[in-house]
Amino acid sequence: MKKKKASLLVIVLFLLFLFGMAALSLFTEDAAYIVNERRAAEPLPSLSFASLAEGDYSRRLESHLLDTLPFRESFRHLKNRFSHTILHLSDIDGLFLTENGVAKKLSPVDTALIAKNAAFFDRLITTYFPDSAKVYLSLIPDKSYYARPATERSAFDSLARLLDESLTAELCAIPLTDTLSLFSYYATDIHITQQGWFSPLSRLAEAMHFPSPLPEAFDEVPLGAFLGTLGAQAALSDEKDEMTLFYDKSGIVASAEVLYPDGQSGRLYDTSLFAKSDDKYDVFLRGETVGEEGARVGNFFIKVTNPKAESERRLILFRDSFARAALPLFLAAYSEVILVDLRAPSLFYGENAAALFDDGRTDILFLVSAHTLNTTEFR
């Protein structure tokens, strides 16, 4: 190619790209929501002297342009794949590929936050269950624990040790790390599959004295393929997961009644959300929020009644999202389960706090993932 032709082509490509992107940004409709990041896009800020002087306008305009840039997701894919395949970076935004899909780093451990959360557990126990002898705690390791034993295992171990050292209330810790593996988790999602829950539930059953759930007592109903949240974030492979729901042959899962915080009742699985929700994991107990559009509330307090229960045992389950897929598998052991999201605000106030009591037939279980414990301050 002649130098002049090459120069002309450089100019054409350069200008075409800049002006093309500018024109597309200007003339295409701005996205209001970024699905893969589950957040609203930054709206176009309004200009004022104060916002410009404080730098707020320039920050928000930059965010707006980047959030609404045409082909945003394609650019993100390009960046992540280039970083992974050409630069050979193992971690991209804390995400990395494993033998079973994508995992997210747990480290570094936030020691101050763990201490605060331990104090929160103490406060819950001393406020609501001061005399209860059946308070259990199980920490769920992240997938990274199995994918990156060299670094992530020590992070989890130090987190667990720190929690143990910080807690003053009497409770029974039930270790789960040896009951799970890399393949207990979805390939593209942070959560444990229902199939993966049987082994850790056996451990819980043994410690809490309820019958161990067995896979052969359940029928598997496939719902379809999906891309989990980690897979969507990482944008590193085209791998997808299969969503399969477990229904027990005695009909407990099908007949259990669930009372959600929006006052609506329903079932343990809401399969309509598999099509409607961005997070397919929302099929388990309807996800993080419930209610009609415009009036959605946090799905923080859920009451599950098991009409086929053979005993009158109650369970108060302090949880994060992991427990939602696990509950249908061991519900047979309880007549009533109160699920309390540890991320709920003001657990010590309001009418829901009235459900937090031990009448002598109640088990109290804290079932929380290391990731939640390390990144969310419970209040």
Partner 1 sequence: MLFSSAVFLFVFLPLTLLFYYLAPRQAKNHVLLIASLVFYLYGEITYTFLLLLSALFNWAIGLALSRTQPQSAAAKRLLALSLVLNLSLLFYYKYAGFLVSILTDITGVSLSFSAPSLPVGISFYTFQAMSYTVDVYRREARCENDPLSFATYLCLFPQLIAGPIVRYTDVSDELKSRRHTLQGFADGAFLFVIGLAKKVILADTLAKLVSLYRSQAPSVLMAWLYAIAFTLQIYFDFSGYSDMAVGLGRLFDFSFPQNFHYPYTAASITAFWRRWHITLSSWFKSYVYIPLGGNRRGKRRLIRNLLIVWLLTGLWHGSAWTFLAWGALYGLLLIFEKFLGLSLLERLPRPIGHLYTLFFVTLGFVLFNAESLSGAARDIGALFGVGALPLYDAAALYYAKSYLPLLLFACLAATPFFKRLFVRSDPKKQRAAPLAFAKDAAKPFITLSLLLLSTAFIVGESFSPFLYFRF
Q: What residues line the site for partner 1 (CB under 8 A)?
A: 1-11, 13-15, 17-19, 21-22, 25, 36-39, 49, 52-53, 55, 58, 61-63, 65-67, 69, 72, 75-76, 78-80, 82-83, 87-91, 93, 104, 107-108, 148, 150-151, 154, 190, 229, 233, 288, 320-321, 343, 371-372, 375-376
Q: How far apart are CA 295 and CA 277, in angstroms?
A: 16
Distance of closest approach, residue 60 Cβ to partner 1, in angstroms: 11
Q: Which is nearer to partner 1, 105 or 313 (CB)?
A: 105
- When the beta carbons of 152 and 358 are compared against partner 1, the nearer one is 152
Distance of CA 81 to the CA centre of its chain: 24
Q: Shortest approach of partner 1 to residue 194 CB, angstroms?
A: 17
Q: Which is nearer to partner 1, 15 or 275 (CB)?
A: 15
25 vs 166, beta carbon nearer partner 1: 25
Q: How far is the CB of 229 from partner 1 (least distance, A)?
A: 6
Q: Which is nearer to partner 1, 80 or 132 (CB)?
A: 80
Q: Which is nearer to partner 1, 25 or 255 (CB)?
A: 25
Query: Smallest distance, Å, CB 36 to partner 1?
Result: 8
Q: Which residues of 278-299 are buried (b: 16+ CB within 10 A; e: fewer)?
A: ebbbbbbbbbbebbeeeeeeeb
CB of 310 to partner 1, least distance (A): 32
- The C-alpha angle 138, 252, 247, rounded to 5 degrees, equals 80
Burial class (CB in 10 A: 0-12, 13-18, 19+), 60: middle
Rounded-to-integer distance, Cα 95 and Cα 102, Å:
7
Q: How far is the CB of 346 from partner 1 (least distance, A)?
A: 18
| Cα distance between residue 150 and residue 147, in whole Å | 9
AA letter at 131:
D
Question: Cα dist. 252→33, 174, 311, 335 in Å?
Answer: 38, 26, 13, 10
Nearer to partner 1, 42 or 358 (CB): 42
Q: Tokens at residue 344, please?
A: 């709920």
**Alpha helices (H) along the chain:** 3-27, 49-53, 56-67, 72-81, 111-128, 144-147, 154-166, 194-208, 229-234, 252-255, 272-276, 323-330, 370-375
